[in-house]
Copies of this chain bind each other. A is one copy, B any other.
Amino acid sequence: MAPGRTTAVADADIEAAVAAEAGWMEDVLARLVAAPTVLGNEEPGQAVMEQAFRDLGLEPQDIPLDAEAIRADPFSSPFSWDVSGKRNVVATWGPGGEGGRSLILNGHVDVVPPAAESLWTSPPFQPARRGDWLYGRGAADMKAGLIAMAGAVRGLRRLGVAPLAPVHLQSVVEEECTGNGALQCVLSGPRADACVIAEPHPDHITVAQVGVLWCHVDIRGAPAHAARASALGFNAIDAATTVTEALRGLEVELNRDPPPPYDAFEHPINLNPGVIRGGDWTSTVAAECTVSYRLALYPGEVPASLRQRVEETVAAAAAADPFLAEHPPVVRYDGFSCEGFALPYDEPVAVALAGAYARLLGAPPPLLATTATTDARHFVRSGIPAVCFGPRGEEIHGIDERVSISSMIQSAQVLAAFIQDWCGLTA
């Protein structure tokens, strides 16, 4: 068949071709999970992804993070750490013809820390297969998704076909803290007609998400000898409880009358005190305590408004305490500060992906909202409709995080069938 001519591959052939790559996918996934790609250590994972893209017969390229360009963008999230030397790894397949719709397949290589390494059944960065599950930090969120993306393309290439419009594969950094990796792809990478992010959103397609704000509250105390704590000191650890209680009050307010689609959730906005560090000696009244909170905002709201409410809440709590009134806690922003979005349910990429899913798996998946954020927001607000769909995981951000290997293969099959539907294929 001549280049440029559209071909139609049977779904069964696509499924078989992707299934034939199962061994490669499992092997690369294990190597990827073994790379402890927490913030600041993403590179070993990107090296695995670079080789994976080469294994597809593609030529990987780097999109280096540019701190200045990121900070200049109004949709970036603030960050206090060095990003020099960090890179997204991307590769483009095709086009082998013309007339198709282009596609970005995006995933993140960074993972959250193990939460409590001692509680894991096997070490979090030693991939362990037990039955259908592969265990490891990041196995589900979202290394299996990255491999599903790559597996879909590898399966299709095994059939000797090519897309009628480019398929851009992107392995990005910093999804778990800022989204600035994906932002750099939007700034420096190609545009496309749609984006699918292979987050572990199984059995459904995610078309709406909240925004997320990270705020860090630095609380002052008055250190003194513990022996005179009640007379002389003011304990910053105790004061942290005061601040958290005030923010819990804000959380209650934020969950009152959620706008659609979040009115379907019992508690869509979660406040999470994720990290606390206070004091430096057991017998010293704590001089300092910092709590890092994660809070969310509905689509249509802007982080600046939520920041203001957080600051007002903390200020009101401080004003009610004589010491804190004189030494008000400081609210800092470092990490997520981003908006949510809600796509229409008839967004073409969602409809097309749902169609491929229904053909392969027998019934259409629901289109859902999530109470988390993903990198999809950067594509959506830049005009590239983006949805999430990917393998089944359990204990995401938890202990013994795991991903279903069969679900990874299945996701790859659905993505491959969708690529044919969306982009068109030529021999």
User: A residues within 8 Å of B by Cβ?
Assistant: 112-116, 119, 141, 176, 210, 212, 214, 216, 220, 222-233, 235, 237-238, 240-241, 244, 266-267, 270-289, 291-294, 296, 335-336, 370-373, 395-399
Contact = CB atoms under 8 A, between A and B. Distances in A.
Rank and list the top 9 A-B pairs by shortest CB-CB distance, nearest first.
Answer: A227-B372, A226-B272, A116-B287, A115-B223, A274-B282, A115-B287, A225-B397, A229-B270, A275-B279
Contacts of A114: 280
Contacts of A176: 281, 283
A279 to B, nearest CB: 4
B399 A287 contact: yes
A162 to B, nearest CB: 37
Contacts of A233: 272, 398
Contacts of A373: 227
A228 B369 CA distance: 13
A222 B285 CA distance: 29
A276 B278 contact: yes
Nearest to A334: B282
B371 A228 contact: yes
Given A278-B276, A335-B282, A397-B284, A228 B115 contact: no
B282 A275 contact: yes
A226 B294 contact: yes
A308 B256 CA distance: 44
Contacts of A237: 244, 273-274, 276, 291
Contact of A284 (B115, B235, B279): B115
Contact of A227 (B112, B119, B270, B335): B270
A407 to B, nearest CB: 18
A275 B281 contact: yes
A214 B284 CA distance: 12
A69 B362 CA distance: 73
